[in-house]
Amino acid sequence: MFRFANMMYLWALLGLPLFWLLYWIARNRWKRNVRKLGDPELLKGLMPDVSWPRQRIKLLLFSLGWLFLVLGLARPQLGAKLETVKKKGVEIIVALDVSNSMLAEDIQPNRLERAKIAISKMVDKMENDRVGLIVFAGDAYVQIPITSDYLAVKMFLPSIGPSIVPKQGTAIASAINLAMNSFTPGDDRSKALIIITDGENHEADPVAAARKAHEKGITIHTIGIGKPEGVPIPITIHGQRTFLKDRSGHTVITKLDEPLLQKIAAAGGGIYVRASNATLGLNRIYRKIKGMDQKEMETKTYSDYNDIFQYAIGLALLFFLLEWMILEKKSKFWSKIRLFQVKEEKK
**What average pLDDT does this structure show over 4-30?**
88
Evaluate whether residue 192 is within a structural domain: yes
pLDDT tens digits along 78-128: 866 555 556 677 899 999 999 989 999 989 899 999 999 999 999 999 988
Q: 42 versus 64: which is more confidently predicted?
A: 64
| Partners of residue 81 on adjacent β-strands | 304
In this prediction, residue 47 carries a pLDDT of 58
Is residue 36 exposed (0-12), middle (13-18) or buried (19+ Cβ within 10 Å)? exposed
User: Residue 302 pairs with which residues in a beta bridge?
Assistant: 82
Is residue 126 domain-shared with residue 222, that is, in the same domain?
yes
> What is the predicted pLDDT for the residue at 242?
84
pLDDT at 254 over 70: yes
Q: Does residue 217 share a domain with residue 317?
A: no
Please, which pLDDT band fits residue 51 given cuts at 50, 70 and 90? low
Region 11-21 average pLDDT: 91
Identify the DSSP state of 188: S
Confirm whether 283 is domain-assigned.
yes
- Between 243 and 189, name the one with better pLDDT: 243
131 pLDDT more than 50: yes
Tell me: the pLDDT tens digits for 213-234? Answer: 999 999 999 999 998 888 888 8
Task: State the average pLDDT over residues 242-251.
Answer: 84
Q: 187 CB contacts (<8 Å, ≥6 apart)? A: 217
Q: Are 166 and 118 in contact (CB under 8 A)?
A: no
Does a structural domain hold residue 157?
A: yes
Q: What is the pLDDT of residues 141-157, one digit of tens each?
A: 999 999 988 988 999 99
Same structural domain for residues 223 and 278? yes
Q: How far is CA 107 from CA 42, 85, 104, 110, 252, in A?
A: 67, 41, 7, 5, 17
Higher local confidence (pLDDT), 26 or 12: 12
Residue 346 has pLDDT above 70, yes or no: no
The beta strand positions in the chain, using DSSP E, are: 2-4, 76-89, 91-97, 130-136, 140-147, 191-197, 218-224, 231-232, 234-237, 240-243, 253-254, 269-274, 295-307
pLDDT for the residue 6: 87
Pairing of strands 2-4, 130-136: unpaired
My answer on whether 189 and 249 are in the same domain is yes
Q: What pTM value is reported for the model?
A: 0.62
What residues make up the domain containing 322?
Answer: 2-79+306-335
Is the residue at 119 inside a domain? yes
What contacts 45, CB < 8 A, 6 or more positions away? none
Dihedral sign from CA coordinates of 46, 49, 53, 58: negative
Same domain, 171 and 276: yes
Task: Fill in the DSSP letter of residue 252.
Answer: P
What confidence tier does 250 reach under pLDDT thresholds 50, 70, 90?
confident
In a domain, 206, yes or no: yes
Examine the domain organization and report whether 52 and 172 are in the same domain: no
Q: Which pLDDT score, from 0 to 100, does residue 46 have?
A: 55
pLDDT for res 327:
73
Q: Do 188 and 97 sit in the same domain of this protein? A: yes
Cβ-in-10-Å burial (0-12, 13-18, 19+) of 305 comes to middle
Whether residue 315 sits in one domain with residue 182: no
Instruction: Count CB-CB contacts under 10 A for residue 35.
Output: 11
Give the SS3 label for residue 155.
Answer: helix
Confidence of residue 347 (pLDDT cuts 50, 70, 90): very low
- The residue with greater pLDDT, 46 or 109, is 109
For residue 252, is pLDDT > 90? no
Report d(CA 292, CA 192) in Å as an integer. 9
Same domain, residue pair 241 and 159:
yes
CATH of the domain at 240: 3.40.50.410
Res 345 pLDDT > 60 = no
Q: What is the number of domains present in the chain?
A: 2
pLDDT digits (tens, 9 = 90+) for 180-209: 999 988 756 789 999 999 887 767 899 999
State whether the Cα torsion 332-333-338-339 is positive or negative.
Answer: negative
* Residue 116: closest CA among 101, 137, 102, 100: 102
Long-range contacts at 26-31 (CB < 8 A, ≥ 24 apart): 27/52
Per-residue pLDDT band for 27 (boundaries 50, 70, 90) equals confident
Q: Are residues 328 and 287 in the same domain?
A: no
The 3-state DSSP class for residue 317 equals helix
Interior CA angle at 169 toward 233 and 173, to 5°?
A: 130
For residue 94, the SS3 value is strand
Whether 96 and 196 have beta carbons less than 8 Å apart is answered as yes
Would you state the pLDDT for residue 340?
Answer: 42
Band (342; pLDDT cuts 50, 70, 90)? very low
179 lies in some domain: yes
Please, what is the Cα angle at 14 between 9 and 18, to 5 degrees? 140
Strand 218-224, strand 269-274: pairing: parallel
Of 156-165, 302-311, 316-325, 335-344, the poorest mean pLDDT is in 335-344
- Please give the Cα distance from 172 to 198 (Å, whole number): 10
Structural domain contains residue 71: yes
- 176 domain residue, yes or no: yes
Question: Tens digit of pLDDT for each residue in 267-319?
Answer: 999 999 999 888 889 999 999 998 886 665 555 555 567 788 899 999 999 99
pLDDT score, position 269: 95
User: 41 and 124: one domain?
Assistant: no
Co-location of 258 and 230 in the same domain: yes
pLDDT value, residue 206 = 93
Among the listed residues 241, 222, 224, 221, the one whose alpha carbon sits nearest the alpha carbon of residue 233: 241
pLDDT value of position 77: 83
Q: How many CA atoms lie within 13 A of 11 on its CB side?
A: 3
